[in-house]
Amino acid sequence: MSLAVIPVKNLKNSKSRLSMIMDDEARANLTLTMLMDELRALEEAPIERIAIVSSDKKVESLAYEYGLEFIYDNGLPLNESLKLASSWALEKGMQTMIILPVDIPLIEAEDIEAISEIISLGCSRSTAVIAPCRRFDGTNLLALKPFNDFVFRFGKDSYRQHLYEAASLGFEVYVYLSETVSLDVDTVDDLLHLYRKIDHSRFTFSFLEKVLKESISQI
């Protein structure tokens, strides 16, 4: 069975590097709309279960509204939070875990389908699919089968560190390059790039259309 995991930090700490153009509430709402776009893609993909890992009450409410699993992480650092999710997934009998950050709202169901196919058709019993961010220093998606011994290394230079971790464990490693996965949102430049690229049907576009133009005019 496959599980998609989306870790979400407490919304009061969301996207602090965007504070020059967005207040706390706007950044929290941006995170929620990006999450909703990811969930829409996952719901159309071949994933048995979806879990959100967080300590935020609004995120918890959203998870239950969508009928998803919610794993309370008590505000743990990201890698510890994912370790908790990994233990939970093992107890539930999951065999494959796909980790997605909350800030890749361009992701498509086809991305998840392609990654799931790579995992299922891998020649080795141990397979890892790693998608870098567009700067090739972060990890924007990590798919593992199995995942019980993997040490998560999200943070600075996580892409290379995850490649090394997977190789050291003997995984068959695939790098997944996709514009819809590589764009994450940390800086104002990322946000502007997203605004130019995102489809008008996305929740995130509707949010940016209302908020971003006014915010930019005040810089």
- The confidence score (pLDDT) of residue 195 equals 92
**Strand blocks (E) in the chain:** 2-7, 49-54, 69-72, 96-99, 127-132, 139-145, 172-175
pLDDT of the residue at 113: 96
The pLDDT assigned to 120 comes to 87
Q: Which pLDDT does position 138 carry in this prediction?
A: 96
pLDDT at site 216: 53
Q: What is the pLDDT of residue 209?
A: 87
pTM of the model: 0.94
Sign, Cα dihedral of 46, 53, 64, 210: negative
Q: Which fold has domain 2-217?
A: Spore Coat Polysaccharide Biosynthesis Protein SpsA; Chain A (3.90.550)
Number of residues in the chain = 219
pLDDT for res 111: 97
Domain boundaries, given as residue ranges, for the chain? 2-217
Kindly state the tokens that stand for 126: 């141990």
Average pLDDT per consecutive 10 residues, the chain (219 residues; last block may be shorter)? 95 90 92 97 94 97 96 97 98 96 97 94 84 96 96 96 97 96 94 92 92 61
pLDDT given at position 20: 85
pLDDT in the model for residue 121: 83
**In this structure, how many other beta carbons lie within 10 angstroms of the beta carbon of residue 46?**
13
Q: Over 165-211, what HEC string results?
A: HHHHCCCEEEECCCHHHHCCCCCHHHHHHHHHHCCCCCHHHHHHHHH
